[in-house]
Amino acid sequence: MLVKSHHVPEDPKKMLRDPFLKPLKST
């Protein structure tokens, strides 16, 4: 369940902080 929360952050700010989205934005 914790993994799910990480995959789909509730806060939009967390999304930007997510290491997974960070590389995507950098690309």
The domains of the chain are located at 1-27
> pLDDT at position 21, please?
60
pLDDT tens digits for range 1-27: 455 555 555 666 665 666 666 665 555
Distance of CA 12 to the CA centre of its chain: 8
pTM of the full structure: 0.17
pLDDT for 24 = 58
Measure the CA–CA gap between 20 and 15, rounded to whole angstroms: 9
pLDDT of res. 25: 57
